[in-house]
Amino acid sequence: MSTVILQVLERDLPELPPRAVDIIEELRDPNHIDRDVLVKLINECGSLGDVVLRVMNSGYLSQVRRARSIEDAILLVGLESTRNIILGVLLKSLFPKRHILESFNRNDFLRHCLGTAVAAQMLYAASGLNAEHDPYKLVTYGFIHDIGVLALDYCMPVTLNRIFKIATEENMPILEAEVKVLGRYTHSVIGEWVCNKWQLPEDICNVVKHHHAPRRAVVNKQELVLIHIADTISFNYYETLMESTHIYGMDPSLVRSLGLSMKEIREVEAALPARVERAMEVLDVEYLDGVRLF
């Protein structure tokens, strides 16, 4: 099965458009971004600039005033934060919805991705992490940590449909059904392959690869642990959307490593569904799901 998966991905994975390659390369190291070059590339990249501004001005990111241009956005939230939003929008747009097979409820999956971003922000606010961690980066990680699932949906919708069908019919957690169908080529492994194929920035590759196994990460461990816990909380919410009773546990020692308590985790779990629904309204995720930049 593994050989077939790689062959299909190699054949069907979208190619990065030239401007996307240039933008990702320019954004690779936030300490060495040429602002003028970045703005020029974005303005030449289809509707990317308009979509980024729509996200920033949605209300979800809670800015006091609206950004009128990419230059304005950089001044408003800073270059690194703008970088993270651009990367999130850019990578998400490379997997538009395809009308091949309704392999799973894409809106509910978007709720999970958004839920991971929302939970990460809530956990960050309650944690003992210092201000050096950029909350915009956490939003980006939440949006794209499951890029492997999007790759499966785009390249192998029949296989993804089988995973969800097995989870429903055999009453097993989705992640277990995934292993049953894909073996070791889980969405994390597939996502890592996509990151390497597209030569994405190291921090994104790290999150995609290790969001289910943060102890294996070598760099950015605190961010990985936070995203892992946020992903677990959001995935349990996702299972309820699938009308499943399966609950994924979390390691209390990982929770404590962020300066959090299980009581705070339960508070985030309780508040998350309403926060996600509000974010779905103001961020207009369904609009983003249909965006085609190229």
Which amino acid is residue 54, in one-letter code? Answer: R
CA atoms in the 13 A half-sphere facing the CB of 95: 23
pLDDT digits (tens, 9 = 90+) for 225-273: 999 999 999 999 988 887 788 889 999 999 999 999 999 999 999 999 9
pTM to 2 decimal places: 0.82
How confident is residue 179, by pLDDT bands cut at 50, 70 and 90? Answer: very high
What string of H, E and C letters represents the secondary structure of the chain? Answer: CHHHHHHHHHHHCCCCCHHHHHHHHHHCCHHHCCHHHHHHHHHCCCCHHHHHHHHHCCCCCCCCCCCCCHHHHHHHHCHHHHHHHHHHHHHHHCCCCCCCCCCCCHHHHHHHHHHHHHHHHHHHHHCCCCCCCCHHHHHHHHHHCCHHHHHHHHHCHHHHHHHHHHHHHCCCCHHHHHHHHHCCCCHHHHHHHHHHHHCCCHHHHHHHHHCCCHHHCCCCHHHHHHHHHHHHHHHHHHHHHCCCCCCCCCCHHHHHHCCCCHHHHHHHHHHHHHHHHHHHHHHCHHHHHCCCCC
Residue whose token pair is 């944690």: 127
Q: Which two tokens mark 255? A: 């929770």
Q: In this model, does residue 286 exceed pLDDT 60?
A: no
Q: Which two tokens mark 78? A: 């800073």
Across 16-30, 210-224, 276-290, least confident range: 276-290
How confident is residue 294, by pLDDT bands cut at 50, 70 and 90? Answer: low
Domains and CATH numbers, the chain: 14-289 (1.10.3210.10)
Angle between helices 106-126 and 262-283 (to 10 degrees): 130
Across 27-41, 78-92, 146-160, 253-267, least confident range: 78-92
pLDDT digits (tens, 9 = 90+) for 180-227: 999 989 999 999 999 999 888 888 899 999 999 999 998 888 889 999
- CA–CA separation, 58 and 55 (whole Å): 5
